[in-house]
Amino acid sequence: MWTLAFWRAVAERALKTAAQTAIATIGTTAAFNEVRWPVIGMVVLLATVLSVLMSIASAATTDGSPSLSGAETLTPLPRHAVDPVSDAGTPPTTTLS
């Protein structure tokens, strides 16, 4: 749970939840001809916090994955994925074959 891969997966889930909630809430309130931005902001914030808490709870009950079903497994990220700039200050080189 305390790996960079875990927190990246949690952040991705939270961002998706925030975007989906914002779109749904804006669409719903627009149908009633009144978009209240403070209400939308509170709903999005609550959904995002719940998403993060669910990911943490899922990690506690699984092998450390934010996926409760176990369908997603996390592998440690290589160093260049964590820090794109090497110690020498130049980006790492990659070759395509």
Question: What domain range includes position 34?
Answer: 4-69
Task: Name residues of the chain where pLDDT drops below 50.
Answer: 97
pLDDT score of 92: 54
What is the pTM assigned to this prediction?
0.70
**Residue 84 lies inside a defined structural domain of this protein:** no
The pLDDT of residue 62 is: 84
Is 78 part of a structural domain of the chain?
no
Does any domain span residue 11? yes
**How far, in Å, CA of 34 to CA of 28, rounded?**
9
Report if residue 93 sits inside a domain.
no
Distance, CA of 36 to CA of 39 (rounded, Å)? 6
Q: What is the CA radius of gyration of the chain?
A: 18
Is 54 domain-assigned? Answer: yes
How many domains, in total, are found in the chain?
1
